[in-house]
Chain A
Amino acid sequence: MEDKRLDTENEKLLVLKDVKTSFFTKKGVVRAVDGVSFSISKGEVVGLGGESGCGKSITSLSIMRLVPQPAGKIVSGEILFKNEDLLKKSEDEMRRIRGDRISMILQDPMVSMNQVLRVGYQLGETYRYHHKISGSLRDMCIGLLKKVKVPAPESRVNDYPFQFSGGMCQRALIAMGIANGPDLLIADEPTTALDVTIQAQILKLMKDIQRESKSSIILITHDLATVAQICSRLLVMYGGRIIEKAPVKTFYKKPAHPYSVGLIKSVPVLGRPTGRLYSIDGQPPSLINPPSGCRFAPRCTQAKKPCFEIYPPETTLEEGHKISCWLYSRD
């Protein structure tokens, strides 16, 4: 939940203002991130949710300034990290921030690690890049593996990634992510590739680490249940834009945006047979030359004429609950 005391611009760790990131392809301009604004307070765990292709990963890669080149480009906006605009930093300055002040954990643990280097070596490199080493690097790596609960860290530190299971690889990646005690950890679908019993373990680990280190976390996921388990606030993306921002407790009790409402209703819930599942008709939008109106209009059962023409402005429903939909707009 957003703490009022932290709610001043100064205490905001990260502020995105109208960020636009596009890919310039043969088929046209893909507006992957199309005017995204949000902020993250210190120590806050925020979920960034939405279906595949809605722009979650590109939003996080924009923050890291790692948008795929040469097609991708951050077109406009500001990304303030500790009050400094990351978009104005040199590549050198960014390199010092990445992996140190902001770090990232990616979806597929097997792919994210270098398969021919020992786990311990990769852990050490992340650390060494940003620090002078005091004491044994090996001991430090073992300590990190211990922290993320890799069993038998003393011998595991010498293993290659392929000798690790998916769950252990994800633990090692989290170890790398937290090696330097970052202010912000971005985890992009960190549990999607894992089995449910392992998912539960990894989510618990992330919660414990967050409590201890007080880092802020952005958890990117298409799975609303994962968000409910560890985040205090949720940002829902659709078609390159954020359509709803809400404290999780509010969101799951009374989602407001027609898309959010439909999304929650269309997920089967264990032990709650629903008869027929609710389903949102139609297909997710293409981000190539999107229409000017609400991106959800072609699938929305409540769409009216203005929905197809003008993008709805953000309206505040109550403290911390904001939504972009004409149904709620007071204009």
Chain B
Amino acid sequence: MKNDAIISVHELKKYYPVTKGTFFSRTVGYVKAVDSISFGIKSGETLGLVGESGCGKSTTANVMLGLESPTSGQIMFDGRDITRFSRQELFDFRGNIQAVFQDPFRSLNPRKKVKHIISEPLFIHKVCSRKEIAFRIIQLLDLVGFDPFQAGLYPHEFSGGQRQRIAIARALALNPRVIILDEPVSALDVSIQAQILNLLIDLQKRLHLTYLIISHDLAVVEYVSTHIGVMYLGHLVEMAPSEALYNNPIHPYTRALLDSVPVADPEDIKEVTLEGEVPSPLNPPEGCAFHPRCPVCEPRCSKEGPFMREVAPEHAAACHVCG
């Protein structure tokens, strides 16, 4: 599965040093934000990453985007390891992977007109002439459902959902092949969320895009993803095609997560499936990171951490006991 992936990560790690002291600070430990995860996404498919706050979803995204450098591991794009790129190579490569973030209010420069915001990448990368840029702006606006006249407006003249469309248009400017979406609809209203999700799906089909989508909302992820990866405390604990993950979850954490999602049905009242909270990543439990909360924990779970292994085609989970 990793071989024909357009983008994949291999034993990717990102550790943040924890320091003490203000003047002569010394490193007293590491937050293992991402701890040796591997996955691949095939061209035209969507991988959804889910997991509780702080489990390392955004860190994974930021490393893949080159916004942070990995502690170790590889990021392969079209057969090349981008962590080994020189600055120039990285600059030339940038257009291939673009991002859309959660907050459409903060991610757009308030002093720039829409046309300048979405054409900025074209100027920076000098990919087309001025005339072509004017044409491209209209094309991009059309892709996200805007009229040409709206090019002259400022971000504050748009609502949250419309601003997210602007951010998507900007991400599309350089014809990327992969788009990383970190909580793209979390700040939006329910009725607007559906508009944006539909837009993302339409664009994917039309432009043959590959997505990595991060969301704390499992239903949103399931709706748009072909595959889903579940993270817990910096580890990938299960990965499967969306349907298999929903119908046949293997990892005890995945099961608890699916069971916790409240449903809009007063006849289907949820029981509390997981006691306790996510432990601090500064001081993660020994062995399987999930063991203090795990309902089927065995003695060896607190000693050795499980590795991901295949339980069915394209379906892998990291658990000593299940699967």
Contacts and interface: CB of A to CB of B under 8 A. Distances in A.
Contacts of B273: 197, 200
A152 interface: no
Interface residues of B, number: 44
Given A249-B266, A252-B266, A267 B190 contact: yes
Interface in A143-159: none
A274 interface: yes
B197 A225 contact: no
B295 to A, nearest CB: 12
A279 B219 CA distance: 16
B128 interface: no
Interface string B267-279: 1111111110110
Q: Considering residues B193, B266, B273, B277, which has the most beta carbons from chain A within 10 angstroms of its beta carbon? A: B266
Contacts of A269: 219, 263-264
A6 B261 CA distance: 33
A79 interface: no
Contact-size category for A: 35 or more
Interface string B184-195: 000001111111
Interface stretch (A12-20, A86-94, A160-168): A160-168
A270 B222 contact: yes
Interface string A203-247: 110000000000000000011111111000000000000000000
A109 B242 CA distance: 33
A264 interface: yes
B250 to A, nearest CB: 16
B302 interface: no
A24 interface: no
Contact of B264 (A166, A204, A267): A267
A226 B262 contact: yes
A273 B222 contact: yes
A293 interface: no
B64 to A, nearest CB: 23
A277 B263 CA distance: 17
A271 B222 contact: yes
A239 B269 CA distance: 30
Contacts of B277: 165, 167-168, 198
A227 B265 CA distance: 9
A278 B222 CA distance: 16
A283 B162 contact: yes
A196 B194 contact: no
B260 A277 contact: no
A280 B222 contact: no
A271 B265 CA distance: 14
A280 B194 CA distance: 8
A266 B266 contact: no
A252 B191 contact: no
Contacts of A277: 194, 197-198, 223
B190 A51 contact: yes
Q: Considering residues A52, A268, A276, A277, which has the most beta carbons from chain B within 10 angstroms of its beta carbon? A: A268
A227 B190 CA distance: 15
A284 B189 contact: yes
A195 B191 contact: no
Contact of B265 (A197, A198, A252, A284): A252
A270 B254 CA distance: 13
A263 interface: yes
Nearest to A196: B260
Interface string A156-191: 000000000111100000000000000000000000
Interface of A: 51-52, 165-168, 195-201, 203-204, 222-229, 248-249, 252, 262-264, 266-271, 273-274, 276-281, 283-284
Interface of B: 52-53, 159, 161-162, 189-195, 197-198, 201, 216, 218-220, 222-223, 246-247, 256-258, 260-275, 277-278
